Amino acid sequence: MITIPKFEYPEALYLLLLLVPYIVWYIVWGAKRKPSLQISTIMPLKKLGKGVRYYIQHLPFIIRCFVLALLILAIARPRSREEFEKVDTEGIDIILSLDVSSSMLARDFKPDRISAAKDIAIQFVAERPSDRIGVVVFAGESFVQCPLTTDRAALINLIKDIETDLIEDGTAIGNGLATAINRLRDSDAKSRVVILLTDGVNTRGEVAPLTAADIAKMYGIRVYTIGVGANGMAPYPTIYGTLVNMPVEIDEPLLKDIAKQTGGQYFRATDNTKLLEIYKEINQMEKNKTLVDSFPIYKEEFFPYALAAFLLLMFELFLKLFVLRRIP
């Protein structure tokens, strides 16, 4: 909010120039027009010295100049202008669909894939305060971890609670995508997005991934797909607490088809840094539409000037009647 002082009739300020001839007139002629009294000698009066009246004899004139100046300023109609801005942000509805199969415990990410995915998803959520964001998790089946919400604290806590043993193991990519679409299909948002993250090949589920992609396209939902996993081999934990190197298998052609079919994009993340960069890129691609409407509100400010002029006028009248009173 910006305050801008302004006069509605600035041309009236030229009237202040009239004070110049008025002051000149007073100095040249006005101050000399004093009542006089003829006496035989002033010797006794000299002993009395100069009283208060002598030093304030020109005060009424000074007050009158201020009164005239204040009245002219009031006539010029001073107004303060406050510029208000109404910001309307059009948010995006986003569902994060995360693979929580046991393979997400692989240690090619630090400390593992699922922890890295959760930490970076939390950063992504924190950077989009105007959007409604929800979370779907899937393995052998899928369910909604958090519905669409703007409650960032609740959403972040629910993301932190995600574990790999929440549901039956497997990789049902189609189910994970279909559940996310089901949450978005009735949304009124102009932009609806699914970010699907997986590290494997579709092995389970009642809904084929490309069928789910067709449904997403029908509803105008963009799907960004992310394949996570190092190139080649990756260390996987065993039930005995040891690590064993196994080949990384990601159905990249399927993920590319899903993204292409829905107007999204496929990304491959091979480590934490790359995954973070992918989320940042998606963050830049899915920009919020912000409308800024500014309008001024004026507040009249002439009253303080008029009041000050009135009070000074009363003070001048008081001086004339009780302090500088003249003998008729």
Q: Residue 126: inside a domain, yes or no?
A: yes
Q: Residue 44: inside a domain, yes or no?
A: no
Q: Token pair of 301, please?
A: 């400010």
Same-domain status, 104 and 196? yes
Residue 283 belongs to domain spanning? 92-287
> d(Cα 284, Cα 270) in Å, to the nearest integer?
21
Q: Residue 41: inside a domain, yes or no?
A: no
The closest alpha carbon to 114, from 200, 241, 43, 194, belongs to: 200
Same-domain status, 318 and 216? no
Same-domain status, 309 and 264? no
Q: What is the CATH number of the domain that holds 212?
A: 3.40.50.410
Q: Residue 37: inside a domain, yes or no?
A: no
Give the dihedral sign, CA 227/228/234/239. Answer: negative
Same-domain status, 106 and 198? yes
Each residue's pLDDT, cut to its tens digit, for the chain (328 residues) gives: 444 457 888 888 888 898 898 888 888 876 555 555 555 555 555 555 566 666 677 888 889 899 999 998 888 888 887 776 665 566 799 999 999 999 999 999 999 999 999 999 999 999 998 889 999 999 999 999 999 999 999 999 999 999 998 889 999 999 999 999 999 998 888 889 999 999 989 999 999 999 999 999 999 999 999 999 999 999 999 888 899 999 999 999 999 999 999 999 999 999 999 999 999 999 988 876 655 566 677 788 888 888 998 999 898 888 888 777 665 5
Same-domain status, 75 and 136? no
State pLDDT tens for residues 14-62.
Answer: 888 988 988 888 888 765 555 555 555 555 555 555 666 666 778 888 8
Q: Residue 96: inside a domain, yes or no?
A: yes
Q: Residue 194: inside a domain, yes or no?
A: yes
Q: Residue 211: inside a domain, yes or no?
A: yes
Count of structural domains, the chain:
2
Same-domain status, 56 and 23? yes
Phi-psi region of 136 (alpha: psi -120 to 50; beta: other; left: phi over 0): beta
| 3-state SS, residue 80 | strand
Q: Residue 36: inside a domain, yes or no?
A: no
